[in-house]
């Protein structure tokens, strides 16, 4: 076996590969850019080699630097992870020429399948059903418009070298193509160094289902069943699961056989994924093949018991697969939630900053019979940079059934606490609690269907309202007792038993008493009682773990100017505990008015200004492009929401801007 492997990647996947190498007794080397000098991967690896500035084009995408690092450290093989150089046939060939083993498929297989245009030509020749589209390069925007109108709207504009949801737009009309084609080309050039684009028919209400394949260098290929990846936003996967709730055994076998046949036809010899777009009627079409390890590989590992990174390493070393198709069985169900540094309350825009608090759920078996796994490349205190993907971690749960795995994920998300930047945990929790998701009726349009106006949180359920009421009452009581002990004369008397609790605008009269080590909270308006047992909380802690009437929960609690802000899953409310007299006065206060920003264009996210398209004195019409902001490989077009004359311009091309910074002000 190899004695030393270099990992040509960063973040979560670099840490993931290091863990398997450690278990196999293999030394590891990581390369790192300026932005990753203090990363977890650098800390964990046996050796680390600096390869340049933060932009990937000057570090992780420079093959010469990777090869030089191999020679410098004596690494015998390179694991490329996903993204960056993982699907570059020329890099795999360069490794072979330099006597370094590429832990991935052979260059010919990457060339045949890794390029989205070439893979469609190959699949068509192999009589694999493909989505209708234009197979070939597109010259310019006018050419793109002609092709789109020949195919018929809606169409998907896609980067040939794309991956990870980058370089993809759906166009519903000519205007969408005229704007989307140059934007996709720019994203493709910046992210992949390749601006070739293709266009295909966009199938409405489709599902995204992929088959994991694994081949060795002796002609053996198996599939490891499917993953359902239909919950997507901006064509990037957000939630994945294995197996798919859509497929029956016959469809699963047919898709698996087609994926294996395709892999065998190109002599595929590593882990790879054949992606299909599936109709709700279980029809399916070949979409593309990813010639690398997928981000969502953990769910396949959880239902098969295999370590895909280990299998890639063994295959690269020349070993035969130790199992055949008949040896593989699906055990249980697994769900993965991608934890992203993005603000769901601000249209999921990237959120850059420091992980002031990072407390993931405990990994391992839970009391409810679920298994929790969290693949991460960060620690508390780390910085989420604008230069790379906004992923913080991948939270996975496994259980014997889908319902148990989904319930386990919802509980695990409750236990995930992050401070310092926007993150999508509340949104993921909202999806887990939706009846449609629980039913398995999925589509790639799921998020657009279920959250057409964006995400603003959800209304608390009766249980969540009770949680917020009881928790706030207990915290108020505890803090009042501390203030009394400290001799604060303003502390409320502990002898008071009746309080008014506001959950948002809803007022409830409650009475508190201690009973057998638990707090009894009587809801006087409704003539019923709650029993709150505190499992883990003390003043200053952001997570409150407890049991309400015997049901376990975890809530996020924060002190506010008045009272607390409490979140349970996707429900978040300001909660205030007052005396009845103070509550009467509180209800007479006028509501605070939001500031008028109607004459301003405000940056929705931190990033770099790619272009500023207006100038002082210019008349701008509603809907016109004001500027383009880029962060985390994504370009965001900012448009004017009203007509007006530009009074001031607050940034120019190349400037860094913060979220909520005023970019343009109108007269």
All domains of the chain, ordered by start, with CATH?
4-103 (3.40.50.20), 132-201 (3.30.1490.20), 338-455 (3.30.470.20), 462-586 (3.30.700.30), 600-666 (2.40.50.100)
Pairing of strands 349-350, 77-79: unpaired
CA distance to 210, 271, 277, per residue, from 285 (Å): 11, 21, 5
Highest mean pLDDT among 190-194, 550-554, 558-562, 602-606: 550-554
Sign of the dihedral defined by the CA atoms of residues 337, 342, 344, 349, in that order: negative
Mean pLDDT of 16-29: 98
Distance of CA 186 to the CA centre of its chain: 23
Mean pLDDT of the chain, nearest integer: 92
- 273-277, 320-324, 583-587, 592-596: range with lowest mean pLDDT: 592-596
pLDDT at 289: 92
> Is residue 532 scored above 90 in pLDDT?
yes
The closest alpha carbon to 256, from 225, 288, 215, 295, belongs to 225
CA distance to 124, 179, 442, per residue, from 172 (Å): 26, 11, 22
CB 211 within 8 A of CB 128: no
Instruction: Give the C-alpha separation, 662 to 602, whole Å.
Output: 5
Instruction: Give the C-alpha separation, 571 to 461, whole Å.
Output: 8
CB 634 within 8 A of CB 162: no
> Is residue 557 scored above 50 in pLDDT?
yes
* Confidence bin at 488 (pLDDT 50/70/90): low
The closest alpha carbon to 467, from 363, 557, 539, belongs to 557
CB 198 within 8 A of CB 236: no
The closest alpha carbon to 13, from 80, 77, 81, belongs to 81
Mean pLDDT of 42-62: 96
pLDDT tens sequence across 413-443: 999 999 999 999 999 999 999 999 999 999 9
* Confidence bin at 494 (pLDDT 50/70/90): very low
Instruction: Give the C-alpha separation, 278 to 351, whole Å.
Output: 33
The closest alpha carbon to 198, from 126, 289, 142, 120, belongs to 120
The closest alpha carbon to 56, from 75, 83, 29, belongs to 83
Pairing of strands 271-278, 207-215: antiparallel
Burial of 524 (0-12, 13-18, 19+ CB in 10 A): middle
Instruction: Give the C-alpha separation, 190 to 195, whole Å.
Output: 8
Q: Could you check whether the bond before residue 165 is cis, i.e. omega within 30 degrees of 0?
A: no
Which residues are designated catalytic?
288
pTM for the full predicted model: 0.83
> Is residue 491 scored above 60 in pLDDT?
no
């Amino acid at each position: 076996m190899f004695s030393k492997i270099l990992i040509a990647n960063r973040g979560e996947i670099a840490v993931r590969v290091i863990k398997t190498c450690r278990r196999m007794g293999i030394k590891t080397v990581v390369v790192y850019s300026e932005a990753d000098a203090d990363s977890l991967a650098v800390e964990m690896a046996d050796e680390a080699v600096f390869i340049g500035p933060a932009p990937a084009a000057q570090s992780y995408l420079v093959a010469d630097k990777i090869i030089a690092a191999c020679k410098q450290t004596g690494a015998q093989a390179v694991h490329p992870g996903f993204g960056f150089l993982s699907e570059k046939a020329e890099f795999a060939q360069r490794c072979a020429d330099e006597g370094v083993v590429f832990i991935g498929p052979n260059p010919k297989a990457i060339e045949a399948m890794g390029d989205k245009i070439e893979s469609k030509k190959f699949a068509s020749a192999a009589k694999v059903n493909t989505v209708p589209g234009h197979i070939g390069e597109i010259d310019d925007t006018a050419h793109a418009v002609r092709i789109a109108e020949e195919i018929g709207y809606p169409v998907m504009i896609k980067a040939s070298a794309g991956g990870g949801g980058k370089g993809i737009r759906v166009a519903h009309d000519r205007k969408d193509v005229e704007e989307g084609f140059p934007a996709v080309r720019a994203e493709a050039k910046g992210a992949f160094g390749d601006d070739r684009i293709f266009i295909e028919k966009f199938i409405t209400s489709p599902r995204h289902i992929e088959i994991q394949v694994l081949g060795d260098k002796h002609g053996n290929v198996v599939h490891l069943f499917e993953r359902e990846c239909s919950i997507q936003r901006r064509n990037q996967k957000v939630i994945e699961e294995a197996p798919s709730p859509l497929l029956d055994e016959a469809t699963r076998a047919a898709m698996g056989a087609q994926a294996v046949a395709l892999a065998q036809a190109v002599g595929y010899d590593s882990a790879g994924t054949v992606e299909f777009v599936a109709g709700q009627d279980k029809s399916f079409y070949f979409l593309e093949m990813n010639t690398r390890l997928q981000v969502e590989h953990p769910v396949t590992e959880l239902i098969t018991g295999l370590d895909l990174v280990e299998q890639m390493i063994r295959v690269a070393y020349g070993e035969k697969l130790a199992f055949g198709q008949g040896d593989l069985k699906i055990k249980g169900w697994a769900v993965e939630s991608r934890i992203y540094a993005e603000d769901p309350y601000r249209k999921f825009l990237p959120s850059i900053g420091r992980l002031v608090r990072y407390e993931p759920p405990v990994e391992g078996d839970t009391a409810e019979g679920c298994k929790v796994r969290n693949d991460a490349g960060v620690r508390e205190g780390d910085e989420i940079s604008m230069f790379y993907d906004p992923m913080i971690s991948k939270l996975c749960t496994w259980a014997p059934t889908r319902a148990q795995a989904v319930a386990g994920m919802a509980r695990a998300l409750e236990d995930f606490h992050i401070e310092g930047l926007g993150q999508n945990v509340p949104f993921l929790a909202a999806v887990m609690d939706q009846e449609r998701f629980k039913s398995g009726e999925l589509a790639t349009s799921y998020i657009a269907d279920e959250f057409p106006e964006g995400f603003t949180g959800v209304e608390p359920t009766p249980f969540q309202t009770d949680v917020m009421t009881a928790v706030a009452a207990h915290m108020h009581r505890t803090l009042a007792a501390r203030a009394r002990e400290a001799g604060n004369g303003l502390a409320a008397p502990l002898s008071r038993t009746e309080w008014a609790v506001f959950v948002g605008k809803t007022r409830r009269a409650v009475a508190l008493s201690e009973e057998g080590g638990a707090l009894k909270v009587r809801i006087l308006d409704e003539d019923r009682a709650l029993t709150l047992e505190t499992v883990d909380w003390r003043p200053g802690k952001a997570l409150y773990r407890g049991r309400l009437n015997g049901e376990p929960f975890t809530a996020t609690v924060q002190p506010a100017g008045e009272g607390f802000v409490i979140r349970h899953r996707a429900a978040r409310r300001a909660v205030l505990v007052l005396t009845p007299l103070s509550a009467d006065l509180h209800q007479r206060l006028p509501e605070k008015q939001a500031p008028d920003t109607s004459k301003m264009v405000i940056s929705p996210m931190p990033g770099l200004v790619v272009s500023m398209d207006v100038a002082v004195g210019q008349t701008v019409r509603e809907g016109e492009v004001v500027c383009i902001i880029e962060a985390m490989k994504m370009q965001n077009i900012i448009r004017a929401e009203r007509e007006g004359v530009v009074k001031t311009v607050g940034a120019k091309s190349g400037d860094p801007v913060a979220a909520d910074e005023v970019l343009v002000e109108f007269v």
